[in-house]
């Protein structure tokens, strides 16, 4: 039976790499997939991983009806055996509904990949809808690491190396950008709460962590 599967995790945990691996494995068996993506770091209409792998994809911009797109491909005689969606957190909730319809009405597997929360620790609307609708939700086992060595659980947006907590929910950036640009960094909860990035941690001599003192 076909299913809608959502693979989630922080940045740097290998989501896009897994998407490309699924595409490779299935295409090697003679199956043909349709790949959607949104705002990939490599540019419009690309699915890329930080390992340097990249393939062409369909840009799922605002207003694109994903179900109608697949139906059109099939009606023209095209072959679609499965659907892969990367950067699924950027999709609108109604586009996630369309993915569920692809599974239910067209009997195709849909593999969606994305991060769950933004730099403010708030759920992306697309990810929230995936959690609500997916037949299967899996957290990737490749753990990203905070600068301190602990498991990274939160995504932070940085400007000039300093963490920011205000601004538009979607601003395309990357962990490899220079400190002067808008970028992203994965942090453990402790350092996300303290807004302590790798750059600010190096900026001064840090005193040992102490328990907070509450007066009264």
* Residues known to be catalytic: 87
- Cβ proximity of 12 and 41 under 8 Å: no
**Neighbouring residues of 162: CB distance < 8 A, sequence distance ≥ 6:** 195, 197, 199, 200
Reference 156, options 205, 204, 198, 104; nearest CA is 198
Q: What is the DSSP letter of 201?
A: H
Dist. CA 5–CA 215, nearest whole Å:
49
Dist. CA 70–CA 42, nearest whole Å:
24
List the structure tokens of 13: 């945990």
């Amino acid at each position: 039976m076909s299913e809608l599967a959502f693979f989630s995790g922080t940045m740097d945990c290998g989501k896009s790499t897994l998407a490309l691996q699924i595409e490779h494995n299935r295409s090697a068996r003679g199956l043909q997939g349709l790949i959607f993506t949104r705002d990939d770091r490599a540019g419009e209409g690309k699915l890329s991983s930080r390992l340097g792998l990249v393939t062409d994809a369909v840009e799922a911009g605002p207003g694109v009806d994903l179900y109608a797109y697949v139906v059109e491909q099939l009606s023209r005689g095209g072959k679609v055996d499965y659907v892969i969606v990367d950067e699924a957190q950027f999709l609108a909730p109604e586009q996630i509904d369309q993915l569920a319809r692809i599974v239910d009405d067209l009997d195709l597997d849909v593999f969606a990949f994305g991060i769950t929360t933004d730099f403010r620790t708030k759920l992306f609307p697309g990810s929230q809808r995936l959690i609500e609708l997916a037949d299967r939700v899996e957290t990737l086992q490749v753990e990203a690491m905070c600068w301190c060595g602990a498991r990274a659980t939160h995504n932070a947006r940085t400007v000039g190396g300093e963490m920011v907590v205000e601004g538009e929910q979607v601003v395309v950036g990357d962990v490899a950008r220079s400190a002067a640009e808008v970028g992203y960094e994965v942090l453990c909860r402790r350092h996300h709460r303290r807004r302590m990035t790798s750059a600010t941690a190096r900026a001064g001599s840090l005193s040992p962590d102490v328990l907070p003192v509450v007066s009264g």
